[in-house]
Amino acid sequence: MSNEALYRKITSFGTAILEEEAKAIQRMASRVDRHFAMAVEQIAACKGKIIISGMGKSGIIAQKIAATMASTGTTALFLHPADAAHGDLGVVSQEDVVICLSKSGTTEELNFIIPALRQIGVKIIAMTGNPRSFLAENADITLDTGIEKEACPFDLAPTTSTTAMLAMGDALAISVMQEKRFTQRDFAMTHPKGSLGRRLTVKVSDIMARDRSIPLVPENASVTDLILEMTSKRYGVSAVVGAEGRLSGIFTDGDLRRLVQSGKEFLSLSSGSVMTENPKTVTPDTLAKECLDILETYRITQLIVCDNLQRPVGLVHIHDLITLGL
């Protein structure tokens, strides 16, 4: 067999597998019914934890669903059914909801703990392909994740069945997230290390230059002093303040360039006479994302940070935001 023929054969197999799994997900959409709605309501109203359990490949899917729920505003954790039978059931309380995943609904390790869960008094949601199984019959709500066949040519290895469970789990998690009105800012709080988290949680006060690092001169300072202040602090800008320490304006390296190009004598002039009035400013509580939006909108590279009396208390440069990963 030539290489080309081999490649066609392999890609044909791969395409057929993906198409089979896509069909399984489409079938899941038709099963989003009142039982699904009841499950979402029960999870959203839970005052305790959402505990998700499964064995083998279903257990791996259970771990992913638990992680998705935890990151979208629902306290959730994975409980291995075998460990649960040997003491870990101690994490389960009456206010919890337990979601059990099993393709057949007859997983021995999982079904062994069902009576104990019943005795604790938790609500049980089953996710199974067998609505007549022991698991389904002992659950408060059953979500049907049954499939026609596995993508495995022997119809043995969990492939399509775990894809169906994963898709149903995602639908549950995101529906609960919307039901609980989980916001973008809430998401950022659970993802502080990510780019979105940094954009929505980091404030200007966390990254701004402060105190002696702020380039600043009074209005009556000479342009010579202004240039020395601006260049020594290396931000390409200097704030200019009035008698009460309030911001009057700024002077940038662009302003200096234009003065030089004018050909006029300017070194003896006052800073107040060459500054740009009413510059864009932010407060220490401004979010880093908002600061970045201002810089990009007005095509500037730095902003003076002012307090509520319009006194300069900091400076933020676009490089600070780039370093932050925004």
Alpha-carbon distance 71 to 132, whole Å? Answer: 33
List, as one string, the DSSP characters of 264-280. ---TTSBHHHHSEES--
Helix H or strand E segment including 143: strand 141-144
The one-letter amino acid code at 268 reads S
Alpha-carbon distance 247 to 312, whole Å? Answer: 6
> What is the predicted pLDDT for the residue at 285?
92
> What is the predicted pLDDT for the residue at 191?
61
Whether the per-residue pLDDT at 194 is higher than 70: the answer is no
Q: How many CB atoms lie within 10 A of CB 70?
A: 17
User: Out of 45-49, 78-82, 204-208, 264-268, which region has the weakest mean confidence (pLDDT)?
Assistant: 264-268
Q: Any idea how long the chain is?
A: 326
Alpha-carbon distance 96 to 80, whole Å? Answer: 16
Specify the 3-state DSSP secondary structure of 174. Answer: helix
pLDDT tens-digit readout, 132-173: 999 999 999 999 999 988 988 888 888 999 999 999 999 999
Alpha-carbon distance 203 to 223, whole Å? Answer: 33
Give the global pTM: 0.67
The one-letter amino acid code at 37 reads A
pLDDT band at 202 (very low <50, low <70, confident <90, very high): confident
Both tokens of residue 16? 């057929």
CA dihedral (285, 184, 180, 170) in degrees, to 10, reads -150
pLDDT tens-digit readout, 79-136: 999 999 999 999 999 999 999 999 999 999 999 999 999 999 999 999 999 999 999 9
> What is the predicted pLDDT for the residue at 183?
77
Mean pLDDT of the chain: 91
Helix 3-29 to helix 160-179 angle (10° resolution) is 40
> What is the predicted pLDDT for the residue at 53?
97
The pair phi, psi for residue 303, each rounded to 5°, is -135, 140
7 exposure class (CB count in 10 Å sphere: 0-12, 13-18, 19+):
exposed
Whether the per-residue pLDDT at 42 is higher than 90: the answer is yes
Whether the per-residue pLDDT at 188 is higher than 90: the answer is no
- Closest residue by Cα to residue 245 from 304, 202, 195: 304
Report the top-level CATH class of 204-324: alpha beta
Angle at 77 between CA 75 and CA 79, to 5 degrees: 150
So where are the chain's domains? 3-182, 204-324
Alpha-carbon distance 151 to 291, whole Å? Answer: 50
CATH number of 3-182: 3.40.50.10490
> What is the predicted pLDDT for the residue at 54?
96
